[in-house]
C-alpha cells in the first residue's frame, strides 16, 4: 500500500471502479480488504474461534488483553448489509465469546461495540463486532454523553423512526421479523458448567 499512485493511475482506477457491476465491486473490495485476506489465511492472525460463518481474532491493538474482533467470513462493509439470520448468528457467537471471557480470563464485564461508518469510528472496510473484556479501573471510559430532548423533538424523531421501520409502534401480533421460532436451543453440556450464571451476574454487580 506504500506505493505512490500517479494521478493518471488514480483516475483510471476510479473510472474502473465506476464501471463495475455490483458483483465485480464486491469482488474488488474483497481483494483490497485486509480482513478478507486474514479469513483466507493469507495474513497471519491469532484465531480464538472459527466456524463456517464467522471468525474471531485477537485484536493486535487491544483495548484490554483478550479484546476480540468477531468477523463475518462474507465481506460486508457495514451491518445493515447483513441478512437477518446472519446478524442473529454473529451475536449469538458474541454472547458465547463474552461468556468465555468471564470464565477464562477473569473479565468482570464485557463491552460489545459495532461501528457503522467512519463517523462512528469504523476503521476497516469489513464488518466486525468488538468484544472487549473489562475490569474495574482498567482505564477505559465509554461513558456516553446525555443530551436532553424536548418533548416535541422526542415525538418528531420517534415518529420518523417508526415510519422508517415501516410500521406503528403498537405491538405487532406477528413479528415483522420472520423465521424465528421461539424455542430453546438445544444445549451441549459444557465442561465448565459448575459456574452458575446467577453467580456471575452477582459477581458483575448486577442483580
Partner 1 sequence: MAARETCLVCQIVGNKIPSKKVYEDDVVMAVLDVNGANPGHCFIMPKNHYPIIEQVPDIEVGRLFQVSNKISSAIFESLGAQGTNIFVANGIPAGQTVAHFTINVIPRKENDGINLQWQPKQLSEEEMSTVELKLKEQTKNIGYFEKEEKKPRIYAPKPKMLSDEEEEYFSRQLRRLP
Segment 47 to 106, residues that bind partner 1, using CB under 8 A: 48-49, 51, 56, 58, 61-66, 68, 79-80, 82, 84, 87-105
Question: Interaction with partner 1 in 116-155: which residues (CB under 8 A)?
Answer: 116-122, 129, 132, 134-136, 138-149, 153-155
Question: Interaction with partner 1 in 8-47: which residues (CB under 8 A)?
Answer: 46
Q: Cα(201)–Cα(99) distance, rounded to whole angstroms? A: 11
Length of the chain in terms of residues written: 207
Shorter beta-carbon distance to partner 1: residue 33 or 48: 48
Kindly state whether residue 108 participates in binding partner 1, applying the rule CB under 8 A: yes
Yes or no: say if 82 and 72 are a contact pair by the CB < 8 Å rule.
Answer: yes
Residue 92's CB is within 10 A of a number of other CB atoms, namely 12
Yes or no: say if 133 and 110 are a contact pair by the CB < 8 Å rule.
Answer: yes
Question: Interaction with partner 1 in 173-202: which residues (CB under 8 A)?
Answer: 175-177, 180-188, 190-192, 197-198, 200-201
Sequence-distant (6+) residues with CB within 8 A of 35 are: 71, 124, 126, 128
Sequence-distant (6+) residues with CB within 8 A of 81 are: 127
Q: Judged by CB under 8 A, how many residues of this single chain contact partner 1?
A: 107
Shorter beta-carbon distance to partner 1: residue 75 or 100: 100
Shorter beta-carbon distance to partner 1: residue 33 or 79: 79
Q: Cα(172)–Cα(81) distance, rounded to whole angstroms? A: 24
With contacts defined by CB under 8 A, name the span among 8-16, 20-28, 35-43, 159-167 that binds partner 1: 159-167
Amino acid at each position: 500500500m506504500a506505493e505512490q499512485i500517479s494521478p493518471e493511475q488514480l483516475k483510471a482506477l476510479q473510472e474502473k471502479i465506476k464501471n463495475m457491476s455490483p458483483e465485480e465491486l464486491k469482488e474488488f473490495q474483497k481483494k483490497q480488504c485486509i480482513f478478507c485476506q486474514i479469513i483466507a489465511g493469507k495474513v497471519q492472525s491469532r484465531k480464538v474461534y472459527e466456524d463456517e460463518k464467522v471468525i474471531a481474532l485477537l485484536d493486535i491493538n487491544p483495548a484490554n488483553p483478550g479484546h476480540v474482533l468477531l468477523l463475518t467470513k462474507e465481506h460486508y462493509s457495514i451491518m445493515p448489509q447483513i441478512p437477518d439470520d446472519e446478524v442473529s448468528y454473529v451475536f449469538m457467537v458474541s454472547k458465547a465469546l463474552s461468556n468465555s471471557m468471564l470464565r477464562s480470563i477473569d473479565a468482570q464485564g464485557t463491552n460489545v461495540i459495532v461501528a457503522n461508518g467512519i463517523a462512528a469510528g469504523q476503521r476497516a472496510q469489513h464488518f466486525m463486532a468488538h468484544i472487549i473484556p473489562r475490569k474495574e479501573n482498567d482505564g477505559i471510559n465509554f461513558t456516553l454523553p446525555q443530551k436532553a430532548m424536548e418533548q416535541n423533538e422526542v415525538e418528531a424523531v420517534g415518529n420518523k423512526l417508526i415510519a422508517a421501520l415501516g410500521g406503528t409502534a403498537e405491538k405487532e401480533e406477528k413479528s415483522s421479523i420472520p423465521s424465528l421460532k421461539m424455542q430453546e436451543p438445544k444445549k451441549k453440556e459444557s465442561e465448565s458448567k459448575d459456574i452458575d450464571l446467577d453467580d456471575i451476574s452477582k459477581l458483575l454487580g448486577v442483580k
